[in-house]
């Protein structure tokens, strides 16, 4: 069982200011993520915002216009900050609010900070321009940039006392991260291609005649682009189905947070499945009212109960 702290002692003014900064970053740059963490109690919400702000910094370095050498140096700097946090060497009056907030979160919750090292490793793959021949190759990248975030988040959420199979919670959190990342890859296929990146496995692209890439708003001539998308959607759905087994292991509000975030991405997947070429014309997104509905559904515990019933039926 993974335990977390539901309440915390007095938080100093400098730490509160650092958390407010991280929450502002999260609210401005992570609308899907923000819908989920709003459902958490204060201490967990702050910790998740600190994790997001650090992760956003790493991602922004990888996605920026700097030279590869400068990006690598900046990523080294983030790893140095992470080492200082791990060694409890970041003071409350440090000038880096993300470092201050994450250091406090790491003292409050059993966050496996090595997951952030994995995130940095994954972004370095982007900097080096790595491509992926098979799903197993891509899965390694996804585990670094998304599976690790799932495991880090679980350090904040914790598992409920007596939860069945709780020792598998990190595995399910990792798998749910893979599902979200594969959905992201499908949604951003055109944007990534314009940036010179291809994430979908080259084996899959060749199988469906899409090796020429996605430089425009229409699929490559003679390709079965819809077949490719539907193939990847089925893979993502299988990952969601496995990862959702995490939900019954969490307390109500943590489960609601996960169900809301995952639910938004599952609905994105539905839209992509209905109109595969939409991802070549622009970014597929959900309106705010639909995201709010998913959040309410998560808070109701409907998804958790559904997973619990399915798990019971499977065991009977």
> pLDDT digits over 193-248, tens only?
988 899 999 999 999 999 998 988 899 999 999 999 999 999 999 999 999 999 99
Are 35 and 136 in a shared domain? no
Counts of helices then strands in the chain (DSSP H, E): 16, 0
HSE at residue 62, side-chain half, CA atoms within 13 A, is 23
Are 259 and 150 in a shared domain?
yes
Task: Name the pLDDT band for 60 (thresholds 50, 70, 90).
Answer: very high
* Residue listed under structure tokens 């229409």: 218
Give buried/exposed letters for 257-280 (b at 16+ CB in 10 A, else e): bbbbbbbbbbbbbebbbeebebbb
Residue 148 and residue 59 share a domain: no
Q: Are residues 92 and 222 in the same domain?
A: no
Give percent above pLDDT 70 in the chain. Answer: 91
129: left (phi over 0), alpha (psi -120 to 50) or beta: left
Domain assignment present for residue 222? The answer is yes
Domain that holds residue 294: 131-315
Residue 105 lies in a domain: yes
* Overall domain count for the chain: 2
150 contacts 173 by C-beta, under 8 angstroms: yes
Task: Assess if residue 284 is contained within a domain.
Answer: yes
């Amino acid at each position: 069982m993974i335990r977390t702290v539901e309440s915390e002692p007095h938080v100093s003014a400098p730490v509160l200011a650092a958390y407010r900064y991280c929450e502002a970053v999260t609210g401005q740059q992570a609308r899907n993520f923000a819908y989920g963490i709003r459902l958490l109690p204060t201490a967990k919400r702050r910790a998740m915002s600190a994790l997001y702000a650090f992760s956003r910094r790493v991602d922004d370095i990888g996605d920026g216009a700097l030279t590869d050498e400068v990006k690598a140096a900046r990523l080294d700097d983030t790893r140095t900050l992470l080492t200082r946090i791990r060694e409890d060497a970041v003071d409350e009056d440090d000038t880096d609010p993300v470092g201050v907030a994450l250091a406090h979160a790491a003292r409050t919750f059993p966050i496996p900070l090595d997951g952030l090292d994995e995130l940095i490793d994954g972004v370095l793959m982007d900097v080096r321009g790595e491509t992926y021949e098979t799903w197993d190759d891509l899965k390694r990248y996804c585990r670094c940039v998304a599976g690790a975030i799932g495991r880090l988040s679980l350090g904040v959420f914790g598992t409920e006392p007596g939860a069945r199979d709780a020792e598998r919670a990190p595995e399910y959190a990792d798998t749910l991260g893979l599902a979200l990342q594969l959905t992201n890859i499908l949604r951003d296929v055109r944007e990534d291609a314009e940036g010179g990146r291809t994430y979908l496995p080259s084996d899959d692209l060749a199988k469906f005649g899409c090796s020429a890439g996605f430089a425009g708003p229409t699929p490559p001539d003679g390709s079965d682009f819809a077949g490719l998308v539907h193939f990847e959607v089925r893979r993502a759905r299988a990952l969601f189905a496995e990862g959702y087994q995490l939900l019954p292991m969490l307390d109500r509000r943590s489960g609601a947070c996960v169900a809301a975030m995952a639910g938004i991405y599952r609905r994105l997947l539905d839209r992509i499945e209905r109109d595969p070429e939409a991802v070549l014309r622009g970014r597929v997104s959900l309106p705010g009212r639909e995201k709010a509905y998913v959040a309410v559904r998560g808070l109701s515990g409907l998804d958790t109960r559904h997973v619990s019933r399915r798990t019971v039926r499977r065991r009977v």
